[in-house]
Structure 1
Amino acid sequence: MTTSFDFNRAPFNSLNTAERDRVAAALDVAYYAAGSVIQQQGEVVDALLVVMKGLVREAGESGFYGCFDVLDSKSLLSGNACCTLHAQEDTLLWHIRRDVAMKISDANSQFAAFFYADVARKLAALSQPVQELQPRVADAVLHTPCWLAENATVMDAARLMKRAHSRAVLVREAEGVGIFTQSDLRNVVVDGLDANHEAIYRHLKRPLICVKAEDDLHHAMLLMMRHSVQRLVVLEGDEVCGVLEQVELMSAFYNNANNPRGITAQIGRANHPDALLAAVKSTQQLIRTLHGNGMKITLLAELVGEIRQRLFSRLFTLLAPPEMLPHVCLLVLGSEGRGEQILNTDQDNALIIEDGYQHPDLERVCSEFNQQLITFGYPPCPGMVMVSNPQWRQSVAGYKRQINAWTSSASSENVMHMAIWLDARPVCGQLALFEGLRQYLQQDLGDNAAFLSRFALPIEQFSPPINLFSRLIATAGPDKDALDIKKGGIFPVVHGLRSLALQYGIDECNSYQRIQRLSDTGHLNESFGRDLAESLAFLQGLQLKAGLLNQAMDKPVDHLIDPAALTTLERELLKDTLSVVKQFRQLISHHFKLGML
């Protein structure tokens, strides 16, 4: 019997040879007739149960477990059954003695993580081996920090840089630490200042752009791109331990094919819209490479979002006459605006126009912008949420009237448009135009409880998929339905967070930043916030994995996954994350009193 036990399935694939031998020696097999009770909720558990053959149903949730699934995994650590299980059909189960499984858990943290009740802890622990392979800032070549006194001169800095072969020096002042670089030295010379007498403190850059020594190197790259700097100050705790230069970062693990900084430089050099296509293709290859290397989904989305922001901004500036840019503001909306879009999907964009401003080329520029994005692989928005549509190309006064209309009547269309607007991010032009409208929205909405409830209502639009998911695992064949991971998992989380952010005046549009702000302000339980963030990241990771697979097979990118095609570990984690989504839907429903609508 023990020879057929598959140690390549999670969580047993984390066991070493000795641990596998201990499990094999502790294995027993039990038969359960169809309809019989396998365990009752609350009873003492003396074995870890794994399905060998047949089908098991979880009472209450209508959840099903098939071949090689671990039953009621959380009960191993607690020692008491968390649910009642029935044999849906004649079933054979492997029994692994609990004392043996617990001893292995004590010595093997990866095996133990599978049984955690805390979803965030479980997801974080199970992803740890992959994350440990990611290069850290501390792994790169770091320059020893060079320090100067506050009363030092520019010449003192130049001599220290030459002596230490450094491109920057640090100066500690009463108000903090500043940095002086080779670029600053060049500017002093060009401006004709006397370096022997010029005080260095007048030329320091503050605040420092810092990164932690334990951070992922990709995060360091993201910071360099976001702040347009060539070096970062590295911290251990609160102390400066080194300086990471761009050249050392690039040589640490990037090559010409997957260099984010190289892609943004390519975008910056483009002098014609068609010249941006190469950067689009490089970005697609970068996504495949970094995902294959196990990069965290949140960091990957941030990195790609930063590149795309540069792409959209550069495209618009190439198309628009220079005199137009101070009078308009280009926005990206939806998942692109939230910074959570990785693969190319339908474009969502808008343009704010300064009141009273007109330009004969405005309509042409907007039309060409959307058409050019189509050639880059961004399909047109089915709802026409694009700058070529006059509804999404309005003056400040026009958008104020639009906002008034959205908030005065919570129709499904108005709610959808408001949701799209709330995820807006400015990428080009006069950013103050957007800031003014964002403040106006909060003033216009006020304490409109009726609108807020109607706004949150769409989370009830799609039934919780956990039951459907369980049934899918129990069936087989080419005709079984797929699970829409966006409708069933991602959308309820994203829109629920959007609704809470709207109510509490939170400006952040990224879902993870919304979770953090809601937790910091006491509007969301901190522990549940961690579960929610990890669950959303897992669901978005499955979405990306399925999308990349579709791309490889030249199929359209959609949001459908086949649960039966997932690994045992992925199915277990999907059940956990969908349970968190269900809890969040219930929280939103109760908070906004959706049952009364």
Structure 2
Amino acid sequence: MPSSFDFSHPPFDCLSPGERQRVADTVDIGYYTPGTAVLTPDTPATHMHVLIKGHVQHIEGGEVVAVYGPDDFYGARATMAGHSSGVFTALDEVIAYLLPRATLQVLIADNARFSALLFADISRRLSAAAENSHSHEFLSLMMVRVRDAFVRKPFFVDGGLDLVSVCASLSEHGLTNALVRDTGPDGQARVGMFTTTDLRDALLRPEPPGALAVREVARYDLITVSPDTELFEALLVMIRHRVHRVLVREGEHILGVLGQLDLMSYISNHSHLIAMQVEQAANLEELQRAARQVDGLVALLHRGGVRIEVISTLVSELNGQLFSRLWALIAPPELVAHSCLLVMGSEGRGEQVLKTDQDNALILRDGFEHPDLAAVAQRFSDALAGIGYPPCPGQIMLTNPLWRQPLTGFKTTITDWLLGHHPDGPMHLAVFLDARPVAGDHSLLAQAQQHLRTLFSGSAPLLARFAGAVDQFNEPGHWWDRLGGLRGRDEQRFDLKKLGTFPIVHGARALALEHGLSCLGTRERLQALASAGQLDATLVRDLVDALHYLMGLKLQHNLRQQALGEAVHNEVRLSDLGTLERDLLKDSLAIIKRFRQHLHSHFRLDAL
């Protein structure tokens, strides 16, 4: 076998050294000219194929279901069955590794993850894929540099200050240590550190604390690291010198103090430290610095194999705190008290990961007015744009008077969206149903949403009209029919939101509305429907798995777009997907198709 067999691609990356050697000892190479039938129902299937060069088209029941390219594999099921149910044809000159059935049988029997990635249903395949990618989260975080961690701002006291005064100052600021500015015996300026441990030792001295200068008990042999030091190295420095804190210095400028607890907290729970910085932000600049770390956290967690639903939940919590803090910095206290700030859409559902456009609104208490409301809304929108949230193209945000109204006005608008002829009414209702309060009086949103549910209650035609939006982005025919040609496959694009997640999200939203469920997340809505006996549990499991797969695939490609300096979007090229990714995408589309059929039957959409 050529030494270049690539074990880095799934499912071969989960093989043990011994299993890889078995592949190396038994694999062969096949050559096929353009137009050759590589596998057919009429010939025995004896080998699984892994493409080295060229493209192979798979036709099943007269329909093109896939086109495979370099590093893709095909024919595993056919090999185990001994025959193929479809026709695999070389579109150009093809060279492929041929893995014999005997080797494949041993790998499947000995390696459960390899078997799951090849043959299991979507739930087991997704679980196996997630387990296979999960590793090195700790290592990834440790490769972060000190400047990216939580470095506490320096708090200085004069060396001549007595210990009682120093402790009073520490208590006032909620600190446990201070940097001491002093002059050494040689007349040179020096910086020391005073901690509660030094206070313990000072209390054992004969002088009373009120008569003891902090310079007498501070330590001046401080260990220093630069902000570009990797966290792993900073931790080693602490261990090596048996200290719990190091001074972070850039040239002669002291940036602050990095504590061992903060360092370990960053590694184990980076999100907690971002939340702390958001909470303590005293101005927009400090808040922006904290907000900029969120995307970095997302990338680190994704590289570490953390599940997409965990990442989205963390981001949702952080963003909620960020919006709340930003509103408190910009809006006058009386406006905060007499209104409810809400986020909507995927942000409201807790399914937003990377920053997209602004989707927010403000409900005012009836009778309350603020003369500068429009200016405050504009400052809030501008500040969000500065953090990385561009204005919403559809103007679904505070700067639009439609989305900042008193409670009574919102109820009237909701009624018009539902019963009137507003062209964007159904989608505005969908966005509003996903609203989540982040600041102010949360009861205002609860009252508005209860009004919306009351309007829908018991009205099958209105519910059907609302649910019908599930077909808004549907495309005629079988989507995979368009993969017939080699060039077409290379150029083919798939919208992960419109054709992928939207039907699941909106279908769950419509069913939750019908049954009076107040939960916001798509997964929570689906699981609540299953628990109530309103949706088949197996379908719910598959829908949740498909949703998470599509969200993860979108995040993966969005991070790649960011790294390349491209604008983040929802489209993915099929040529960028590996075999397993395309198979899982097909599985997900099949599940979505089943869900659409259920919705059409349940809401009688074909009769509309």
TM-score in terms of structure 1 length: 0.73
Counterpart of 1:528 in structure 2 is 539
Shift of 1:49: 4.4
Q: After superposition, give the CA deviation of every residue in 1:287-310 in whole Å (9 maximum; x if it has no partner).
A: 222222222111111111111101
Corresponding position: 1:63 with 2:68: no
8 Å contact from structure 2 (residues 72, 578) kept in 1: no
3-state SS in 2 of match to 1:259? helix
- The amino acid across from 2:16 in the alignment is N
Tell whether the 8 Å contact from 1:354 to 1:395 is kept in structure 2 after alignment.
yes
Does structure 2 conserve the Cα–Cα contact (< 8 Å) formed by 1:350 and 1:393?
A: yes
Q: Per-residue CA shift, 1:410-432, capped at 9, x if unaligned?
A: 76511110111011000100011
Q: What CA deviation, in whole Å up to 9, does each residue of 1:191-215 have, x standing for no partner? A: xxxxxxxxxxxxxxxxxxxxxxxxx
The within-5 A match list for 1:570-589 is 570-589=581-600
Q: Displacement, 1:270?
A: 2.2
Which residue of structure 2 lines up, in the alignment, with residue 122 of structure 1? 125
Query: What SS does the aligned partner of 1:127 have?
Result: helix
Report how far residue 398 of structure 1 moved: 1.2
Equivalent residue, structure 2, for 1:309: 320
Residues 40 and 84 in structure 2, CA contact (< 8 A), matched pair in contact too: no
Q: Supply the distance in 1 between the matched residues of 2:330 and 2:8 (Cα, whole angstroms).
A: 55
Q: Which amino acid aligns with 2:418?
A: T
Query: 2:13 is matched with which residue?
Result: 13
**Residue in 1 that maps onto 2:392:** 381
The change in CA–CA distance for 1:529 and 1:40 in structure 2 (over 3 A counts) is farther
Structure 1 unmatched runs, 5+: 136-246
Query: Is the 1:69–1:568 contact (alpha carbons within 8 Å) kept by the matching residues of 2?
Result: yes
How is 1:27-426 mapped onto 2 (pairs within 5 angstroms)? 27=27, 29=30, 34=35, 36=37, 38-40=39-41, 47-51=47-51, 53-60=54-61, 61-67=63-69, 68-71=71-74, 73=76, 79=81, 83-87=85-89, 89=91, 95-131=98-134, 133=136, 252=264, 254=266, 259-409=270-420, 412-426=423-437
Separation in structure 2 between the aligned mates of residue 88 and residue 588 of structure 1, nearest angstrom: 40
In the aligned structure 1, how far is the partner of 2:574 from the partner of 2:477? Answer: 11
| Displacement of 1:449 | 1.7
Deviations along 1:335-370, one digit per CA (max 9) or x if unpaired, are 111111111111010111111222223232222211
RMSD: 3.3
Provide Cα deviations, 1:96-130, integer angstroms capped at 9, x if missing partner: 34343122112112211112341011101121133
* CA 1:55–1:512: 2 relative to 1, 3 Å: same
Residue matched to 1:145: none
Asked if the contact 1:410–1:454 (Cα under 8 Å) also holds between the matched residues in 2, the reply is: no
Match of 1:96, SS state, is strand
- For residue 180 of structure 2, what is the aligned residue in structure 1? none
CA distance in structure 1 between the aligned counterparts of 2:325 and 2:75, rounded to whole angstroms: 53
Other-structure match for 1:429: 440
Aligned twin of 1:215? none
**Residue 336 to residue 460, structure 1, CA distance change in 2 (3 Å):** same
Deviation of 1:259 (Å): 2.7
AA aligned to 2:507 is G
Alignment equivalent of 2:458, drawn from 424, 428, 447: 447
Shift of 1:555: 2.0
Provide, for residues 390-445 of structure 1, a one-character-per-residue CA deviation record: whole Å limited to 9, x for no partner.
11111111111122222224765111101110110001000111111222222111
Which residue of the partner structure matches residue 561 of structure 1?
572
8 Å Cα contact 2:32/2:95 also seen in 1? yes
- Within the candidate set 487, 494, 502, 2:505 is matched to 494
Change (3 A) 1:544 1:9: closer
Aligned residues of 2:56 and 2:90 also touching (Cα < 8 A): yes
Q: Secondary structure at the match of 1:62?
A: strand
Q: Is the 8 A contact 1:410 1:455 kept in 2?
A: no
**Change beyond 3 A, Cα 1:289–1:132:** closer
User: Whole-Å Cα distance in 2 between the matches of residues 488 and 12 of structure 1?
Assistant: 30
Give secondary structure in 1 for the equivalent of 2:134: helix
Task: Give the number of the structure whose alpha-carbon radius of gyration is greater.
Answer: 2
Output the amino acid matched with 1:13: D
- Inter-partner Cα distance in structure 2 for 1:65 and 1:437: 50
Please tell me the residue identity of whatever aligns with 1:254. Y
Q: Which residue of 1 aligns with 2:551?
A: 540
1:250/1:259 contact within 8 Å kept: no
Gaps of at least 5 residues in structure 2 are 139-258
Counterparts of 1:550 and 1:438, CA distance in 2: 37
Residues 1:114 and 1:437: Cα distance change in structure 2 (over 3 Å): same
CA shift digits 1:252-280 (9 cap, x unpaired): 46259x83222222222223334311111
Contact 1:63-1:467 at 8 Å conserved across structures: no
Kept in 1, the 8 Å contact 2:26–2:99? The answer is yes
Secondary structure, in 3 states, of the residue corresponding to 1:483? strand
Say if 1:483 and 1:561, in contact at 8 Å, map to a contact too. Answer: yes
- Aligned AA for 2:556? K
Relative to structure 1, is the Cα distance of residues 117 and 109 closer, same or farther in structure 2, using a 3 angstrom cutoff?
closer
- Percentage of pairs with the same residue: 37
Amino acid at match of 1:84: G
